[in-house]
Amino acid sequence: MPTRAVTPSAHARSAKRASLSQQYSLPESTPARGSATVTVFASPTSWIESDALAQCHQVAALDGMIHVAGMPDLHPGKGAPVGAAMASSVLYPFLVGSDIGCGIAVFPIALRRAVPEKLAARFPDLDRALDPEQDADDPAWAVVEGDIPAGHTEGLGTVGRGNHFVELARIETVFEPDHASRLGIAADDLVLVVHSGSRGLGERILRGHTAVHGAGPTPDPGSYLAMHDDAVRWGSLNRRLMAARVAHALGAEPTEPIVDLCHNLVEIRDGHYLHRKGAAPGDGRDVLIAGTRGTPSYLVAAHAGPDAGHSVAHGAGRKMSRADALRRGRAKHTVEELRRTPVGSLVVCGDRQLLFEEAPTAYKRIEQVIADLVDHDLATPVATTVPLVTYKTPTLGSTPQQDRRDNRRRQGRR
C-alpha cells in the first residue's frame, strides 16, 4: 500500500459543509481489506516521522478503510496518527481518541491596555471547576444556554493539561483584509484563543467502548454517535465558559467566538465515516492553526478537498515526544526562559515538567506547516496572532533551590 506523493494542485474551494452525524442516515458497514490509500500533504523538507507514516499505513490496513490523509503536522499518537483524516465504511472510536470534541475557539476581547505582566496575574484559576450550585452566581454562566450536554458537570470551566491552553493574543499580520473585516478583526485587535476538549467525558465514552470491543469498530454506530455528539457540544460549551471566565477576570465583556471548530471527531461524509484526530474541518471554514507558546498562530480560510479528507492541520504538531522534550529541555532551557518567550509573552504554568514538555522547540515550525497547506492549496492565511499571555496551569511558584538545581543541571549538560 504505497504512500501517494502529493504535488500542489487546485482543490475545489466550495465544499458542501458537513453537519453533525445524526442528521444523516448511517452508512452500511461493509468491511473491505486492502483497498485504502494513504496521502501525506507535506513537502520533502517537512518533519514527518517514520513512526507516523507507519501508523497511517497500519490504519489503512484496517477493515473498511478507504483513505488516510496526513496533514503537515502529522506525528505519532497513541494507537493512531495525530494530524490525520481517515475515511472508512465502519466506525472506529479509537481513531477519534479519548478527547472527543477537542478544538480551538477564538473570541474577540476589548481591553484598554494589554500589559502582559499585569494581565497574567489576573487570569482565573482554570484548574478549579465551576460548580453549578456552589458557583451559581458566577457571571460566566450567562453563556450557557439550555442543559449541559450529557449532564456532565465535572471539569466545567477548566482547561486540562497536555497541549491545552487559554491565550490572550494580538492580531499581528493581516494577509486578507477583506476576509478579516468580515470576521470583525483587524491588526492590533486582541483575541482569546481557547484550546481544550471534553474534559473526561470523551475518555469515559472511549473507555466504555474499548472495555468490550478493544480497538475494533463499534457494533452500534448510532449509540456511539449520540454520545460522541454530546462530547463535541460539551467541548464547545466549555471553551465558551472558559473564555467568559477569563474575560470577566480581565475586566472585559464575553463575546461570541469568530471561530470554534473541533479537531477530534467523526462525521458522516459522502456516505462514509470521516474520522479526524488532530485534523480540523477544512471545507470552506475558518480555522485557527495553533503555533507554540513562542511563535505566532495562523488564522486561515480552509478549502481542502476530498483527497485531504476535507481537512487541514490543527497546529504545529509535535516534533519530540514528551519524554524527549523533558530531557532535552532541562539540558537546554531554564524555567525562566520558558516562562518568558522569544516574542515577549508570558506563560502562566506552575507545572514545571509541563513547561519543558511544551517548550516551543518540542514542536515543528508552524511556518512550514502553513507553507505546506498553501502549497497544496488546502488553506489561505488570513492573519497571524501573537501570544501575550498563555495560560497552562495556575502559577504555584518555584523555590530558589529548585531554580538553582535546574540551572546546575542545564550547565552540567552543555
In which band, very low, low, confident or very high, does the pLDDT at 11 lie, cut at 50, 70 and 90?
A: very low
Q: Does position 26 have pLDDT exceeding 50, yes or no?
A: yes
**Mean pLDDT over residues 63-81, rounded?**
96
For residue range 102-141, what is the model confidence (pLDDT) as tens digits? 999 999 999 999 999 999 999 999 999 999 999 999 999 9
Q: Does position 413 have pLDDT exceeding 80, yes or no?
A: no
Q: Residue 51 has what pLDDT?
A: 95
- 14 vs 7: CA distance, rounded Å: 20
Q: Residue 91 has what pLDDT?
A: 98
Task: List residues with catalytic annotation.
Answer: 314
The two beta strands, 165-174 and 190-196, are antiparallel
| Beta-bridge partner residues of 85 | 69, 276
If DSSP codes are grouped into helix, strand and coil, which group holds residue 211?
A: helix
CB proximity list for 169: less than 8 A, separation 6 or greater: 190, 191, 192, 193, 297, 385, 386, 387, 388
Average pLDDT, the chain: 89
Domain range enclosing 233 = 3-412
Cell of 267: 462525521
For residue range 223-257, what is the model confidence (pLDDT) as tens digits? 999 999 999 999 999 999 999 999 999 999 999 99
Gyration radius from the chain CA atoms: 21
Low-confidence winner among 34-48, 96-110, 297-311 (lowest mean pLDDT): 34-48
Q: Name the amino acid, one letter, at 128.
A: R
In which band, very low, low, confident or very high, does the pLDDT at 5 lie, cut at 50, 70 and 90?
A: very low
Q: In a 10 Å sphere around its CB, with 0-12 CB exposed, 13-18 middle and 19+ buried, how is residue 61 labelled?
A: middle
For residue range 177-222, what is the model confidence (pLDDT) as tens digits? 999 999 999 999 999 999 999 999 999 999 999 999 999 999 999 9
pTM above 0.85, yes or no: yes
CB proximity list for 204: less than 8 A, separation 6 or greater: none
The H or E element that residue 119 is part of is helix 116-120
For residue range 324-383, what is the model confidence (pLDDT) as tens digits? 999 999 988 889 989 999 899 999 999 999 999 999 999 999 999 999 999 999 999 999
**Mean pLDDT over residues 253-265, rounded?**
98
DSSP assigned state of 150: G
Dihedral of the alpha carbons of 82, 86, 92, 94, in degrees to the nearest 10: 0
End-to-end CA distance of the chain: 44
Q: Residue 414 has what pLDDT?
A: 34
In which band, very low, low, confident or very high, does the pLDDT at 97 lie, cut at 50, 70 and 90?
A: very high
**Residue-wise DSSP of 357-408:** HT-GGGB--HHHHHHHHHHTTSEEEEEEEEEEEEESS------HHHHHHHHH
CATH code for the domain of 246? 3.90.1860.10
Q: Does position 311 have pLDDT exceeding 90, yes or no?
A: yes
In which band, very low, low, confident or very high, does the pLDDT at 148 lie, cut at 50, 70 and 90?
A: very high
Q: In a 10 Å sphere around its CB, with 0-12 CB exposed, 13-18 middle and 19+ buried, how is residue 334 labelled?
A: middle
Name the domain count of the chain.
Answer: 1
Q: Residue 34 has what pLDDT?
A: 60
